[in-house]
Structure 1
Amino acid sequence: MRRSWLYATHDLSQSKTMWWSRLQSRGLHSSSCLMKKTPAGQRWVLRQLRDPYVKAAHQQNFRCRSAFKLLEIDDKFRLLQPGYSVVDCGAAPGAWSQVAVHRVNSAGTGETGRISGVDRITETEHKTQSDPEVPCGTVVGIDLLHIPPLDGAHFLSCHDVTDPATHAKLLELLPGGQAHVILSDMAPNASGFREMDHERLITMCLSLVDLAAKILRPGGSLLCKYWDGIIAHKLQEKLSSVFGSVQTLKPNSSRKDSAERYFFAKMYRKTVKR
């Protein structure tokens, strides 16, 4: 399979979050871990210890803290509805897919409801009610890395989101070959050069517009992460050319010192080829 040099996965911090959660579950004392770290590693561990979203992700069995970004956005805009078909690009380790599975009922549990109190995440609880009449949705996740299995999701591990072969598999897996929502929290492996990484991520996001032309149904939505920078406007302009509305979002769960932003595009206008 062809591999795109552009497409990687979620940033390294998410993998570290899973690693740290495993340490916590094994009861290892934080100070012993800190002693074995480099100065940069020590700073990272201290930040994780102080991060309420990391703690909440561990308590609520989310695979990483990024789940709360999607929860917060979906609580406000309701882009994920029972019965919807969702494609999660850059899905590893699977936190966004966990949220999508619950909200579109792709596991067929009939549970509805929203995780309440995102601003009070240390006290959040799942408030659900079972309803057999709730329609079942579909969640398909894609990543170059292996994605651990998840009930209610079909994962295309070791697949490139820009590869036509991946597009063909999506058309087979999605009901009617169409998705209601495309999600993307993917990012390139960090090079250490901020402008270069920014441009690479924008290019990756632009490839989602091509994907949308193949699988996104008219009126559908796209939510994609980008890093703010000099060519972010190009992505916004491209999205505006095929979506009726494009908004810039910065969830509260996104770290304040991060250049991370999200474009939420809705009301997709499918172009007709002539």
Structure 2
Amino acid sequence: MLSPRLSRAEPLNYTRMCFLVNCLKRLKSSQQWLSRQKADPYVEKAKIYNYRCRSAFKLLEMNEKTNILTPGLSVIDLGASPGSWTQVAVQKTNADGSDKTKPKGMVLSIDKLQIFPIEGATIMSNMDFSTIEAHDKVIAVLGDKKVDLVLSDMAPSATGVKELDKDRIIGLCYMAIRFAALVTKINGNLLFKVWDGKEVPILEMDLERFYRNIKILKPKASRSDSSEKYILARGFKGIQRPLESGRWG
């Protein structure tokens, strides 16, 4: 029989062991991430072209196929931090006015996190786009105008629980759709990220109520082991009746 002293020590040793195991897991995960970053050609390209992160090449590739970003367009980038999609949007819409021969566009970027300034973009940092406050500020910037395109490369912080993470990103998608419906002009477009799953076909059917064409995109710049893909909804029909709460809210 174990002595009382050993019995009392056992939970402490077990706690320490769990802590060490978790630390080793985090270390291994960090090492794998660093190795992947070093081997990723898009990470190096992002440095060369002065993009804030590799995701810029996802948008560049999708735009090459769809031509959704052109000079003179007005764009809102949701969950924009650190700003690589905003950088691409500014370049492609000529929002910085760098090409005097082409129409000048407008790019508005929103995120809960800090976004460092990007020339040609209006930045709204530390702001949750789903709030009434954010909507009021966006309307104040837009005036009586509406936008041509809403972008969203948002994803929730991973919990490690696969089904929960998928539910959370679907929730973000519906919030982005609702936001877009309130600020997009007729025939405008919406591009957003989703993780593959059984909920996606339902999401597509809901989108068909508001957009004329739905297309799934998987850019090569998306990592091969990632379940992410992008939905491009084109040809906004307008809102025929008030948006419902629940799934849309």
TM-score higher than 0.5: yes
Alpha-carbon contact 1:69-1:252 (below 8 Å) kept: yes
Q: 1:221 is matched with which residue? A: 189
User: Which stretches in structure 1 are left out of the alignment for 5+ residues?
Assistant: 1-36, 111-131
Deviation at 1:200, TM superposition (A): 0.7
In the TM superposition, residue 99 of structure 1 has moved relative to its aligned partner by 0.0
Indicate yes or no: 2:91 matched with 1:156. Answer: no
CA distance in 2, matches of 1:255, 1:147: 24
Give the AA of the match of 1:70.
Answer: L
Of 224, 228, 240, which aligns to 1:272?
A: 240
1:247 aligned partner? 215
**Distance in 2 (alpha carbons) for counterparts of 1:214 and 1:43:** 42
Structure 2: 5+ residue runs without aligned partners?
1-25, 243-249
Aligned length: 217
Structure 1 position 77 matched with structure 2 position 66 = yes
State the alpha-carbon separation in 2 of the partners of residues 104 and 175 from structure 1. 19
Distance 2:211 2:219 in 1: 21
Tell me the alpha carbon deviations over residues 116-168 of structure 1, each in whole angstroms, 9 at most, x when there is no partner.
xxxxxxxxxxxxxxxx2311111001100000111001111011111111111
Whether the 8 Å contact between 1:83 and 1:138 is mirrored in structure 2 is: yes
Query: Conserved in 2, the CA contact under 8 Å of 1:62 and 1:95?
Result: yes
RCO (CA 8 Å, sep 6+): is it higher in 1 or 2? 1
Match of 2:5 in 1: none
Change in 2 beyond 3 A, CA 1:214/1:66: same
SS at match of 1:222: strand
- Percent of counterpart pairs with the same letter? 40
User: Distance between the aligned counterparts of 1:77 and 1:187, measured in 2?
Assistant: 23
Displacement after TM superposition at 1:175 (Å): 5.8
Task: Say if 2:86 is the partner of 1:97.
Answer: yes
Task: Give, in whole Å, the separation in 1 of the partners of 2:184 and 2:144.
Answer: 11
Counterpart position of 1:114 = none
Corresponding residue of 2:31: 42
For the pair shown, which has the larger CA radius of gyration, 1 or 2? 2
Asked if 2 retains the 8 angstrom alpha-carbon contact of 1:249 and 1:263, the reply is yes
Q: Which amino acid aligns with 1:218?
A: I
Which residue of structure 2 lines up, in the alignment, with residue 171 of structure 1?
Answer: 139
Query: Which residue in 2 is equivalent to 1:10?
Result: none
Q: Deviations over 1:95-126 (max 9, x none)?
A: 0000000000111111xxxxxxxxxxxxxxxx
Assess if the C-alpha contact under 8 Å between 1:138 and 1:174 holds in 2.
no
Question: 1:130-209 counterparts in 2 under 5 A?
Answer: 132-174=100-142, 176-209=144-177
| Greater displacement, 58-67 / 208-217 | 208-217
Distance 2:194 2:213 in 1: 17
Cα RMSD after superposing both structures: 1.3
- 2:231 alignment partner in structure 1: 263
**Matches of 1:139 and 1:204 in 2, distance apart?**
21
Query: Counterpart in 1 of 2:10?
Result: none
One-letter amino acid of the structure 1 residue matched with residue 170 of structure 2:
I
